[in-house]
């Protein structure tokens, strides 16, 4: 299920009342203006980025913590933008909000794929542990489950994880634009980390760096550099895949089946699968939080551009 379907109640509100609803006519604040809301936002983001370090050894756990930080950043952007009056910056950011929602859906599809593989792995383990000496029929079914898990001939490949590029400002920007730039920077970092960790192509991923006189620049770049290094290391997903390869090799060996070797390989797969379960579920919850927060920010952005009564779904 796409998160768009799950959280349809939070989708952008519909205007009610039948009145003449038009964009507010507001004056854009001077470039470089730093309102109290945006100042607090920047300081809070810097502190939160710094609190991520050192990153946990688990890539999935590190990605979940980054997703939590992104959700908090999106939530903080709502009050930080209130009263800033820069409708041009808000309007320009609407497409970026849609891209983030699409990225959440793509990541959720990847996580669902990992859950399916985990389910098939557990089914194969159940077949192999159903008796002290599994019959040939159980061994054949276990082989088939592991082959299906590895999707040697997938009917449809998983959707790619999109990148979320952002434009580095070349001049002083308004307070609202600086808040939205921070949102885009953290979103881009989370998307890069997700692609590296979940797709296994960390060497091809460019982790974003930020320049400019923002209070969170140094902490952001430090987190980005450490994530890039962590993503190149084997994590829980790779550990399960390697254990499954060893078990498959034992099952596919010619001659009489070495039951002791099967038991040992199956125990290793079970151990690695259990190690994957908690961080995978934790990451799924974190991505759900990002999706909800992104919807709330988008609703707030649309609301800031409307006048008159509107039906809004409160963000919690």
Tell me the pLDDT tens digit for each residue of 138-169.
889 999 999 988 765 455 666 678 899 998 88
- Cα 131 versus chain centre, distance: 40
Separation in Å, CA 53 to CA 50, 62, 210, 220: 6, 10, 17, 10
| Secondary structure class of 27 (helix, strand, coil) | coil
Confidence of residue 83 (pLDDT cuts 50, 70, 90): confident
Q: In this model, does residue 29 exceed pLDDT 80?
A: no
Which region holds residue 85: left if phi is over 0, alpha if psi is between -120 and 50, else beta? left
Give the model's pLDDT for residue 316: 58
Q: Distance between CA 210 and CA 167 in Å, rounded?
A: 10
Q: Distance between CA 295 and CA 310 in Å, rounded?
A: 16
Tell me the pLDDT tens digit for each residue of 271-287.
999 999 999 999 999 99
Tell me the pLDDT tens digit for each residue of 60-69.
999 999 999 9
Residue that the structure tokens 């999706």 belong to: 291
Higher pLDDT, 121 or 255: 121
Contacts of 253 (CB under 8 A, 6+ apart): none
> In 3D, which of 214, 222, 220 has the Cα closest to residue 179?
214
Confidence of residue 188 (pLDDT cuts 50, 70, 90): very high
Confidence of residue 18 (pLDDT cuts 50, 70, 90): very low
Q: In this model, does residue 199 exceed pLDDT 90?
A: no
Q: In this model, does residue 28 exceed pLDDT 70?
A: no
Separation in Å, CA 76 to CA 16, 69, 300: 27, 10, 12
Give the model's pLDDT for residue 132: 73
Contacts of 281 (CB under 8 A, 6+ apart): none
Tell me the pLDDT tens digit for each residue of 233-247.
889 999 999 999 999
Both tokens of 241, joined, read: 């895949």
Higher pLDDT, 35 or 158: 158
Which region holds residue 200: left if phi is over 0, alpha if psi is between -120 and 50, else beta? left
Q: Distance between CA 164 and CA 192 in Å, rounded?
A: 8
Give the model's pLDDT for residue 3: 54
In the chain, alpha helices (H): 3-6, 36-51, 59-81, 87-128, 136-150, 175-199, 217-231, 236-251, 259-304
Confidence of residue 22 (pLDDT cuts 50, 70, 90): very low
Higher pLDDT, 150 or 301: 301
| Sign of the torsion angle spanned by Cα atoms 227, 228, 234, 238 | positive
């Amino acid at each position: 299920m796409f998160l768009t379907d799950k959280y349809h109640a939070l989708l952008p509100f519909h205007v009610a009342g039948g009145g003449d609803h038009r964009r507010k006519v507001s004056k854009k604040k001077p470039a470089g203006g730093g309102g109290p809301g945006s100042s607090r936002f920047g300081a809070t983001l810097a502190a939160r980025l710094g609190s991520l370090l050192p990153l946990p050894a688990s890539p999935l756990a590190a990605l979940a913590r980054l997703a939590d930080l992104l959700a908090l950043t999106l939530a903080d952007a709502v009050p930080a933008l209130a009263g800033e009056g820069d409708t041009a910056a808000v309007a320009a950011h609407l497409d970026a909000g849609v891209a983030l929602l699409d990225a959440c859906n793509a990541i959720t599809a990847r996580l669902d794929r990992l859950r399916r593989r985990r389910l098939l792995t557990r089914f194969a383990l159940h077949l192999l542990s159903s008796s002290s000496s599994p019959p040939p029929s159980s061994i054949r079914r276990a082989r088939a489950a592991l082959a299906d898990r590895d999707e040697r001939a997938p009917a449809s490949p998983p959707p790619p994880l999109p990148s979320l590029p952002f434009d580095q400002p070349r001049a002083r920007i308004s307070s609202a634009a600086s808040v939205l730039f921070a949102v885009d920077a953290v979103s881009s970092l989370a998307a890069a980390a997700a692609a590296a960790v979940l797709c296994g192509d960390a060497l091809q991923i460019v982790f974003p760096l930020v320049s400019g006189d923002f209070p969170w620049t140094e902490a952001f770049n430090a987190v980005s550099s450490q994530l890039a290094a962590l993503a190149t290391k084997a994590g829980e997903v790779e550990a399960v895949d390697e254990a499954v390869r060893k078990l498959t090799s034992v099952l596919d060996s010619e001659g009489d089946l070495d039951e002791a070797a099967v038991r040992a390989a199956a125990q290793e797969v079970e151990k690695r699968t259990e190690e994957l379960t908690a961080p995978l579920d934790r990451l799924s919850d974190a991505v759900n939080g990002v999706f909800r927060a992104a919807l709330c920010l988008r609703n707030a952005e649309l609301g800031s551009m409307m006048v008159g009564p509107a039906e809004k779904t409160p963000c919690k």
